[in-house]
Structure 1
Amino acid sequence: MEASIFEAIRFDADGLVPIVAQDARTRDVLMVAWANREALEQTIASGVVHYYSRSRAALWKKGETSGHIQRLVELRLDCDGDTLLALVEQAEVACHTGRRSCFYRSLQDEGWVDLADPGPIAAGTPAIDVFDRLVAVIEARRSSSADKSYTKSLFDRGLEVMLEKIAEESAEVIEAFREDDRGHLEHEIADLLFHLFVAQAAREITLDDVRRELERRFGVSGHEEKAARRR
């Protein structure tokens, strides 16, 4: 493993760096923990996220006991080099409380309020079920009073901002197709789909609307379908 990978990381005086774990599909922030160089080496080598426990002063693999492992999709380093973002596929739940995310309390007018927990996404869940679930989360964020929600901020800023994000993500998908990195491409496609679903919700277009349009096209050639649209 190249030393330059770790030279770019600004470990603290104890040789540790914080890692934010984010679900690569839903974009939910799952947890924050610490890692030392050995934990990162294990993570990169195995493809399963490892952390360093400050209380036990020992390396630990997330989910080693519970089975709730985090498979690494992508590892990112922030602009200052002192924080890592791990995009992961989370098995079941991330939080020791049994919730999907450790960040389930939202500051409301009445104080800290527990958010509804979407629960785990089972391995092998059909894509269409994941899409339905994602749209449901988008709608929930849309009506949320939480100021920190990225999804809500898109609705607050309006359709033009959503369209700018779609253009940006589309360009990143095209660039990712030109690279030989399947994981990165999957990540960028997921980003694009998310922003499409947000704009779709803003225009009150449902997944069922899109499904009906796709079903209508079965048995119709692409040339015929395009010609019909021009009439």
Structure 2
Amino acid sequence: MVLMSDYNINFNDGIVPVVVQDFDTGDVLTLAYMDRNALEMTMKTGYAFYYSRSMKRIHMKGEVSGNTQKVMEIYQDCNDNSLLIKVKKDGPACHTGNNSCFYRKLGEPKVDGNIDYSLEILLRLEDLVRKRMKDPVNGSYTNYLIDSGDENIRKKVGEEAIETILASGRDRIVYETADLLYHLIVFLAFNNVSLFDVMNELNRRSK
């Protein structure tokens, strides 16, 4: 296994551009970005992790869509400031459902995306909880829960679970489920468990 100490990458402004290529066909799939942590996670897991400049966080490719990319080879360029990775992809590389993000010639219209990113809110919520753990905010309910300790957090998850199964009517079920998911994410973060860990377990069971 290649270690971070075995090479030198110039992370200009903290990130480097990454050209992603299909290992089997040679097709260019997308242009992404990595910071040092994203590269380390990619090398550790064997799956592509990128740094999102819009969301300002690391994400695993396919964490919402399921269209993961297994990394086969990683190359660095002659100036040590960009990467080329060759992947075996599980599903389309583009959020539009196209094989590649470069699916249209210059001037041709875009197509609407067909991937449901509604679960992205859970990842943003997880990020927020972890930020509150690192940098507490006065008056934050999340910080109140964290400060109350593991036993109380577990109790709240149990209470919310009971309220959810006792809820009557669609709107109430939606409301109580949102409460349950929030408290569950706090519980996971408090115990150093990520949604990625849970998704990995679900993926393992589906095989």
TM-score when normalising by structure 1: 0.45
TM-score when normalising by structure 2: 0.50
